[in-house]
């Protein structure tokens, strides 16, 4: 492992290490206005949602690493205490990137990047019509983390109105994670797309309590043929196999049993896989 003291690195190098390590990061496409009503639109990847009651989102328009100056978005948030957070999906990612160009103050990125401005209902900044989800927000607090280049500025926002494209809503009133087709920032010039094979499900153990990896037989825990993810799935089972389970389970060589169990794990037949491994270990 390369062990680093952050204070020993130039800020640009530390910045790239952080961005390359922590991702994918969701994108806050922030729409703001200044006191005179001039529009600004800019993306920020230091962003997430932190509360549902009240609904709170936080993003950081950091100071320029080159000049130390604050971003127009930050200045506008301080002046007007309002912002619209527009979610970014694949269909708009190139236009979003164009809007991140260092245009001079007063430039309308809606026009430069070809986005459609839609009037908000409760705040002054416009929404981006092309965005699949738009959050009208009041700025409730701003925490300046430093005065030098690269210093973050935490803008804490309360969502006062949500706008969600209707075709994204499923029958159980959730947002379809495949249809929304979100993108996120990685390190350097890289992005990632939450679509297709990049999406996978893991049931949340909210009400269930798994037996844990420590409860599995030693031959299973220490097998070099099973990965940490395999063991994690097995440990999520709420019970070890019963005698009846084992009576109805076939006897195979260990290698064959593991290969078959791994196939079942990929098919979400986790209890069957656990039964097979316990029977043959």
What is the arithmetic mean of pLDDT over 135-159?
A: 94
In DSSP terms, which residues pair with 184 in a beta bridge? 192
* Domain ranges across the chain: 6-198, 213-280
**Res. 203: pLDDT tops 80:** no
**Res. 47: pLDDT tops 80:** yes
Among 82, 192, 195, 176, smallest CA distance to 133 is for 176
- The whole-model pTM stands at 0.86
The confidence score (pLDDT) of residue 253 equals 93
6-198 maps to CATH 2.30.110.10: yes
């Amino acid at each position: 492992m390369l062990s680093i003291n952050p204070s020993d690195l130039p800020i640009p190098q530390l910045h790239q290490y952080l961005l390359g390590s922590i991702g994918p990061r969701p994108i806050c496409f922030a729409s703001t206005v200044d006191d005179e009503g001039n529009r600004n639109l800019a993306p920020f990847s230091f962003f997430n949602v932190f509360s549902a009651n009240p609904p709170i989102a936080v993003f950081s328009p950091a100071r320029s690493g080159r000049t130390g100056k604050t971003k127009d978005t930050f200045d506008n948030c301080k002046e007007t205490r309002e912002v619209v957070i527009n979610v970014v999906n694949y269909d708009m990612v190139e236009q979003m990137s164009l809007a991140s160009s260092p245009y001079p103050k007063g430039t309308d990125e809606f026009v430069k990047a070809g986005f459609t401005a839609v009037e908000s209902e409760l705040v002054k900044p416009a929404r981006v019509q092309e965005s699949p989800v738009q959050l009208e927000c009041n700025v409730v607090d701003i925490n300046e983390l430093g005065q030098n280049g690269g210093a973050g500025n935490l803008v804490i926002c309360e969502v006062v109105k949500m706008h969600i494209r209707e075709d994204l809503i499923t029958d159980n009133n959730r947002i379809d994670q495949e249809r929304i087709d979100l993108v996120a920032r990685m390190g350097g010039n890289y992005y990632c797309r939450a679509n297709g094979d990049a999406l996978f499900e893991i049931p949340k153990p909210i009400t269930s309590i798994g037996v844990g990896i420590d409860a599995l037989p030693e031959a299973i825990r220490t097998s070099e043929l099973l990965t940490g993810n395999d063991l994690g799935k097995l440990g999520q089972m709420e019970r070890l196999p019963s005698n009846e389970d084992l009576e109805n389970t076939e006897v195979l060589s260990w290698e064959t049993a593991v290969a078959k169990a791994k196939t079942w794990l990929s098919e979400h037949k986790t209890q069957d896989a656990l039964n097979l491994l316990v029977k043959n270990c």
